[in-house]
Structure 1
Amino acid sequence: MLKKIIFMLLLGCVLLSQSVMANLLISPTRISIDERERTAKVTVINTSKETKTYRVIWSEKQSTPTGGYLTLPTTTETSLSPMTRISPKQMQLAPGEKQTVKVAIRKPKGLASGEYRSHLLFQALPNESTKAASSIKINMIMSYSIPVVLRVNRESPVVAIERAQLAKNQNNQRLEFALTLKRETAFSSYGKLTAYFKSDTSAALEKIAEIGNLSIYPEVKKADVTLSLFNGKNLNKPGTVIFKYTGEDEYSDINFAEYTLPITTSMLKL
């Protein structure tokens, strides 16, 4: 019985962690600071039905080639957090209440050119009034982080799509694309990767897949990206797939990379 209770509590941890963003609205979810700017603002709204306490701290993370992050134990030479100040660092919000969090930047004199990044971590603290029904109590701290980037003497990132191939997802048996993107220069890219299909019998381009909010950070030289087809879209005839990685936000006027993949009848027999 005890093991069953523990299992149910741990399962609850997983489900609650997946719903953090459902109870906490953060805007924006990414901050890019120009070297001439001195402050940035983030709006936090408690969208749950109970009063919540949130803590705001810095977290250092390293991007991985396959997506996601590794949490680092300490700051690095490219961490942004040592040159910042957060206000407030903790807040209590009633249902529907919002709070503006300010990030002040204090650049040291002679700061070297390059990109500096830390992640602003919002932690939803457990309510002290919540009592466990049994003698077992697990205090869960749910959290969500957003990247904050400062670029000094920014240069436009150079990105190339080195490889693209058609594959089959082993879970749902649907076709998908596996791509490798290579980034050069010391600055990250940010944008969306889109796939368009043109059949051999038509000149029309059809958008069949897209992934947004795609960043390739300086610590990642090559990124492996999986691009899944939209629901209702299928590849069932030969033609050509055109991939385009285009910039968004501060890179909205940049086309980073393009790649063409011929689709043959034999490839569709995966």
Structure 2
Amino acid sequence: MKPMILAPVQPKLLVIRYALLVAAVFIGCSCLPWQEAAAQGNLLITPVRVVFDGQKRAEELNLANAGKDTARYLISFVEIRMNRNGTFDQIDEPDSGQLFASKYLRFFPRSVVLAPNEAQVIKLQVTGLSQLTPGEYRSHLYFRAVPDELHTDDKKTQDSSGISVKLTPVFGITIPVIIRVGETNANVRLSDLSLDLATEPRLTMLFNRSGNSSVYGDITVDYVSPQGKSTQVATARGLAVYTPNKQRYLHLPLEKNPGINYHSGKLRIAYTVTSKSRTEQLAQAELQLR
């Protein structure tokens, strides 16, 4: 009897994908003014924030592939909770006071394939507006890159059981889409300012939002010397406090410039929003240094 020859057992390949959601990351702030493009990987998106209010019913998003390879992106809605520390969680059910916008929005196309330096327009439209009660509705449009598994260079690891694991990053970016119905308003106040000098200068502040709509803007921090000289030491663009959150903390590193003494003088903090050519101050605060 001929011996039975068993083929060598090939280790199983387990592909694990993980998503990097940006909101923005998810990011607590998009770190870009909304007039500019959001970027993740090689995908550029503009605008980075969509608000439907008044008579506005449609918007166009511009996607561009800034990379050297053709890429495919899937587009969908995700629902996001903002936490008090500025981080984000993906959720399925709205929190108390939170309203999702996704079921009142439609977009086309739902996936795009972009060659290098190619652009594509995504059309976004509000539907069923008559069904909405006054307030702010928010969902996030998620653009997820589909990896090319045939040409991936990701490293493989093998555990003691002989199972190979390949980690394939799935990069993505989210942008908020907001519908405002009826009378909406928001105010914001900065409080609980403190400066930590233990390792590097770091300013902490608390955003206090009131009203029935989100706030979104840019933070600038100026150091004012005892002689009155003002020097900008930090900026943070695209900081939001989304409904239903009433508060959000921000920890912001400050520049260590020669000649700046964070033990004297003061810090002047401004929270502003720019719309076209107009800049509006949402909040201002000062921290005396000692």
Q: TM over 0.5, yes or no? A: yes
Q: Counterpart of 1:193 in structure 2: which amino acid?
A: I
**What is the aligned-residue identity percentage?**
25
Residue of structure 1 equivalent to 2:140: 119
1:46–1:95: 8 Å Cα contact kept in structure 2? yes
User: More displaced, 43-52 or 68-77?
Assistant: 68-77
Residue of structure 2 equivalent to 1:207: 232
Matched residues in 2 for 1:163 and 1:261: separation? 10
Question: Cα–Cα, structure 1 residues 253 and 223, in superposed 2: closer, same or farther, change >3 Å?
Answer: same
Question: Cα–Cα, structure 1 residues 252 and 136, in superposed 2: closer, same or farther, change >3 Å?
Answer: same
**1:187 paired residue among 209, 213, 221:** 213
1:73 aligns with 2:98: no
Residue of structure 2 equivalent to 1:47: 66
Which digits, 9 at most, give the CA deviation of each residue in 1:147-176, with x for residues without a partner? Answer: 11121234341111121011136xxx1111
Greater helix content = 1
Deviation at 1:248, TM superposition (A): 2.6
SS of equivalent residue, structure 1 residue 60: strand
1:154–1:187: 8 Å Cα contact kept in structure 2? no
**1:220 paired residue among 228, 245, 249:** 245
TM-score by length of 2: 0.76
Residue of structure 1 equivalent to 2:8: none
Q: Counterpart of 2:133 in structure 1: which amino acid?
A: A
Q: Counterpart of 1:72 in structure 2: which amino acid?
A: I
Q: Counterpart of 1:223 in structure 2: which amino acid?
A: R
Greater relative contact order (Cα < 8 A, sep 6+): 2
Q: What number of residue pairs does the alignment pair up?
A: 250
Matched residues in 2 for 1:36 and 1:239: separation? 48
Deviation at 1:177, TM superposition (A): 0.8
Matched residues in 2 for 1:225 and 1:79: separation? 25
Deviation at 1:250, TM superposition (A): 7.7
Larger radius of gyration between Structure 1 and Structure 2: 2
Residue of structure 1 equivalent to 2:160: none
1:153 aligns with 2:182: yes
Matched residues in 2 for 1:113 and 1:216: separation? 19
Question: Cα–Cα, structure 1 residues 204 and 138, in superposed 2: closer, same or farther, change >3 Å?
Answer: closer
Question: Cα–Cα, structure 1 residues 212 and 140, in superposed 2: closer, same or farther, change >3 Å?
Answer: closer
Matched residues in 2 for 1:236 and 1:230: separation? 10
Deviation at 1:103, TM superposition (A): 0.8
Q: Mind listing any 5+ residue stretches in structure 1 that lack a counterpart?
A: 1-5, 265-270
Deviation at 1:119, TM superposition (A): 0.5
RMSD, aligned CA? 3.0
**1:59 paired residue among 67, 71, 78:** 78
SS of equivalent residue, structure 2 residue 129: coil
**1:96 paired residue among 93, 97, 117:** 117
**1:166 paired residue among 195, 220, 227:** 195
Question: Cα–Cα, structure 1 residues 251 and 165, in superposed 2: closer, same or farther, change >3 Å?
Answer: farther
Q: Counterpart of 2:171 in structure 1: which amino acid?
A: M
